[in-house]
Structure 1
Amino acid sequence: MRDNEVTMGGNGEEKAVSQGTQPGYAYGWYTTGILMLAYTFSFLDRQILNLMVGPIKADLGITDVQFALLTGGAFGIFYTVMGLPIGWMADRYPRKWIISGGIALWSLMTAMSGLARTFPQLLLARIGVGVGEATLSPSAYSMLSDLFDKTRLPKAMSIYTVGIYIGAGTAMIIGGTVVGAIEHHPDIVLPLLGAMRSWHVVFLVVGLPGLLVALWVATLTEPKRSVRAAEQADADQTGFSPARIWRFLASYPLMSVSLFLGSAMFSVMSYADAWFPELFIRTWGWGPQQTGLVNGAASLIAGPAGMLAAGWWSSRMIREGRADACLRLTAYAAAGIALPAVLMPLAPNGFLMGVLLLPLKFFGGFTPVLIPTAIQMVAPAALRAQLGAVFMFTVGIIGVSLGPILPALFSDYLFQDEHALRYSLSLASGITAPIAFLLLLIGLRQFGRRLAELEGTPPRG
């Protein structure tokens, strides 16, 4: 940020005049596309595990709670905790190299999952995946905020985050096809590696291609960092300081609750999808290929539709002067997702259950687009990636971890029956949906006030 000079445009927005050349919007969209590809591989490597619950539990002799640790607890804790120092690095050092190194790490650790023979070995490999994936979003949020103005940023975020559902959907379809094709041949012999279980091979196949994406990201041009004139005095404060982060959050307590805790509670319902493939298997006796196709299709159709709708709708509202659009629309989505999230697991047949996945995935796509955008809009320049990491931290601790674990706890300890998974998922959503809606609403006024402070205009409403 020391390389930038800042001038103000006539509309009060910042313009970064750097010593180098800032890439134009065309290159910004190109960068967005590559980051979206990286996010796709991130979720492909993360979600492929969810379609292999049965084989992994049988081979390793583990419980639902232990499996939830692989998909949520251990992965989520390291994914979120490592995001904080990585966010500081992204606010100070070239972000493309941080992302490239992270992709290489999580790809290798996904492949290493294919070599695991015990639960502790697989747990350590999944922790490595979490650490690698923690590099992506804080760095990507920061890069995108320097590549686009506030009216284009929601659209760019929507394209980037589409990778969530493309990766998850692809994982379901490819994983289900592979597992279904080889479920009658659980042992496969590979050169040098010898006899392996079928789920080991899936990890190897999906992990190694990510190394090529890491090389591609390394070719990107690092964008110059923009600073709003209202915060120029803080532009050089790039040291890691939890106290500075806390002071900012404490200055806007209700806004902070909405952006971080509200979005985290919303994400509990989204990350419960770790159990959706197994839900169809346990409830209706479907095979991996059929459940992978249904869950994958829902992710590929409804998820991106929700994300693109969120980006388009919020950009339009911002152009019309509704600066709080990102947070307001997320609250609306929390209300919209409640009913399908509660009813989907209780559907009387597999077809209706698959149909109800569509609105659940649609509204679930709002949070990953709108909340990171909202944070970048209100964050001080020196804290953009770090506050993005705080978002990852709260979503990871509450959403990524609790999303898979809460239904598992209900199944193992409340209902004491793994076939009660449908009731566990419905109960978990019934608890979290109203809490998320209320937490998202309470910070709207402070969010608007913060935006008005940065723009130098009186807040609306």
Structure 2
Amino acid sequence: MSQLGAPGIADSVRVDADQATLLPQARTLWSTKQFYLLAILLAASVCSYIDRGVLPLLQEKIKPELGLSDADLGIATGPAFALFYALSSLPIARLAERLDRRKLLATTVALWSVMTAACGMAGGLWSLAAARLGVGLGEGGYVPTAHSLLSDHFPRRQRGFAMAVLSTGAPIAGMLMPLVGGYVAHVFGWRAAFYFLGAGGLVLALVIGITLRDPRAVGTAAGVRAQSFGDDLRWLFTNRAFAWLFLAGALTGIGKGGFGTFLPSFMMRVHHLNLIEAGSVIGISGLAGLAGTFLGGYLADRFAGERGRSYPLICAIGGVITAALYFSAMFQTAWIPTFVLLVAAMFASDMKTGPNYAAVQNLVPVRMRATAAAVFMIAATLIGSSVGPIVAGLVSDSVASARFPITYGAFLTTCPGGRAAAGAAPALVEACQVAGASGLQSALKFVALAFGAAGVAFYMCSRSFRPHENEA
């Protein structure tokens, strides 16, 4: 077993990371070193999800102050983040196959934390987008580095649940975001929320740099000589199961990007919740997502068998159910049934998170774990999360413009930031509100269909899924 943990808990003993994959599968208890590694990686995951997700939570405060439209918000939350997230993930993944992953992880956490604080200094769309580029640049290195570290320490039939625990970063972030983001913004202003989050991330980066150890011999990937990037990329996309996983990741990213960006605004515009109430709903949904994540990881490991088809199959089931629940929620006029459907949708959506990542790691040779994670995340971010917010924002603005009374003029000019100008007639104020709510509701109905398409792609993956021969 590799040694990793805090000083006094683990010594930096150099071992072959393949030992993790050769552990007896009957072993179910994790060691202290495994627990510590997972706790630190989970803390970094929570930090990353809060830092990327706090902008959608606060955007109704930011939007009028900076004079932004929904399409502008889609750019700032989508491609401004996703472009550099994807561009940085591959180079950092290649470094993670060769260099000390502790140093890489600490550096990336510090970078995205500084740029999160920079979001609080934004004066308009382009300065906000530039700060989001920096957040994406830093966060792009987290997944390949963290997933390769985790996979070196957990054997295949423990990996689904371990990945599920790591994946609870998203729902935990959803629960904490109203406190560390929404509450701070409510009391001290939205800019202070970004400063507070950035400072917390820098403390975490210091803890990572001091306490973690990479047990792998520097310059090797688990004792196996790394291949060229072209060879690894060719291997991935000639594997039919991985190709279907890549497509499923892109479609899931579209759905998550659209809903993650505009769900708080949907609750405020359509059901008239305030910022604290919307944040509380996200927190409750995070609890449901937490339960779904644990259940999905457990079921995938429990029914894996020799071929491990349960990993993509659990994802397929979760995707189809998620689409049905989100789509139904958008048709509700009363808040209570909408709330129930949204919470259930979060549960179903997060069921697939752990099995999804575990499937990627189980498919590939040890030498390319970080690279495979980075390539997969390109599907979910550059293709998925960048497309989802833009599509949702454009559809929202288009539908709102079509349903806005032409007698008042064009929606985007008459209702800058989605609101009538101060002192406008009550009828115009109401017309802006109704058009904006209707447009966003229609946009999210459309985006919900992406989850169902992802479910089909996950099912196709399961038909040809087979773990790599070096996986025990």
- 2:216 aligned to 209, 224, 228, which one? 224
Q: 1:37 to 1:7 in 2, by over 3 A?
A: closer
The answer on whether the counterparts of 2:108 and 2:138 sit within 8 Å (CA) in structure 1 is yes
Q: Which residue of 1 aligns with 2:372?
A: 387
- 1:237 aligned to 201, 213, 226, which one? 226
Q: 1:150 to 1:455 in 2, by over 3 A?
A: closer
Q: Which residue of 2 aligns with 1:277?
A: 264
The answer on whether the counterparts of 1:147 and 1:223 sit within 8 Å (CA) in structure 2 is no
Q: 1:152 to 1:366 in 2, by over 3 A?
A: same
Q: Which residue of 2 aligns with 1:370?
A: 355
In the alignment, structure 1 residue 439 sits paired with structure 2 residue 430: no
In the alignment, structure 1 residue 154 sits paired with structure 2 residue 160: yes
The answer on whether the counterparts of 2:321 and 2:452 sit within 8 Å (CA) in structure 1 is no
| Secondary structure in structure 1 of the residue aligned to 2:226 | coil
Q: Which residue of 1 aligns with 2:246?
A: 260
TM-score (norm 1): 0.84
Deviation, 1:77, is 1.2
| Secondary structure in structure 2 of the residue aligned to 1:152 | helix
1:313 maps to a residue whose letter is L
Spell out, residue by residue over 1:232-289, the C-alpha distance to the aligned partner (whole angstroms, 9 max, x if none): 9x921255x1x2133212331x312221111221232223222111101111222111
Q: Percent identity?
A: 28
Deviation, 1:201, is 1.2
Deviation, 1:173, is 4.2
The answer on whether the counterparts of 2:248 and 2:458 sit within 8 Å (CA) in structure 1 is yes
The answer on whether the counterparts of 1:408 and 1:424 sit within 8 Å (CA) in structure 2 is yes
Q: How does 1:95-244 map to 2 (within 5 A)?
A: 95-181=101-187, 198-218=189-209, 219-224=211-216, 235-239=224-228, 241=229, 243-244=230-231
Deviation, 1:15, is 6.5
Deviation, 1:176, is 2.9
Deviation, 1:388, is 0.2
| Secondary structure in structure 2 of the residue aligned to 1:308 | helix
Deviation, 1:165, is 1.3
Q: Which residue of 2 aligns with 1:421?
A: 440
Q: Which residue of 1 aligns with 2:396?
A: 411
Q: 1:8 to 1:276 in 2, by over 3 A?
A: closer
Deviation, 1:401, is 1.2
Worse overlay, 394-403 or 168-177: 168-177
In the alignment, structure 1 residue 79 sits paired with structure 2 residue 68: no
Alpha-carbon distance in 2 for matches of 1:15, 1:293: 42
1:62 maps to a residue whose letter is L
Q: Which residue of 1 aligns with 2:238?
A: 251
- 1:397 aligned to 382, 388, 412, which one? 382
Alpha-carbon distance in 1 for matches of 2:68, 2:374: 32
2:460 maps to a residue whose letter is I
Spell out, residue by residue over 1:342-385, the C-alpha distance to the aligned partner (whole angstroms, 9 max, x if none): 11222222222221121211122133311221111111222110
In the alignment, structure 1 residue 63 sits paired with structure 2 residue 65: no
TM-score (norm 2): 0.83
Alpha-carbon distance in 2 for matches of 1:259, 1:61: 39
Q: Which residue of 2 aligns with 1:191?
A: none
Q: 1:84 to 1:5 in 2, by over 3 A?
A: closer
Alpha-carbon distance in 2 for matches of 1:5, 1:309: 31
Alpha-carbon distance in 2 for matches of 1:105, 1:388: 20
Contiguous gaps of at least 5 residues in structure 1: 17-23, 183-197, 457-461
2:459 maps to a residue whose letter is L
Q: 1:90 to 1:424 in 2, by over 3 A?
A: same
The answer on whether the counterparts of 2:34 and 2:153 sit within 8 Å (CA) in structure 1 is yes
Q: Which residue of 2 aligns with 1:307?
A: 293
Q: Which residue of 1 aligns with 2:424?
A: none
- Aligned residue-pair number: 417
The answer on whether the counterparts of 1:311 and 1:370 sit within 8 Å (CA) in structure 2 is yes
Alpha-carbon distance in 1 for matches of 2:72, 2:461: 36
Q: Which residue of 2 aligns with 1:293?
A: 280
Deviation, 1:454, is 4.5
Spell out, residue by residue over 1:124-169, the C-alpha distance to the aligned partner (whole angstroms, 9 max, x if none): 1111111111111110100011011112111211111111111132
| Secondary structure in structure 2 of the residue aligned to 1:115 | coil
1:68 maps to a residue whose letter is G
The answer on whether the counterparts of 2:249 and 2:377 sit within 8 Å (CA) in structure 1 is no
Q: 1:168 to 1:7 in 2, by over 3 A?
A: closer
| Secondary structure in structure 2 of the residue aligned to 1:82 | helix
| Secondary structure in structure 2 of the residue aligned to 1:442 | helix
Alpha-carbon distance in 2 for matches of 1:35, 1:384: 16
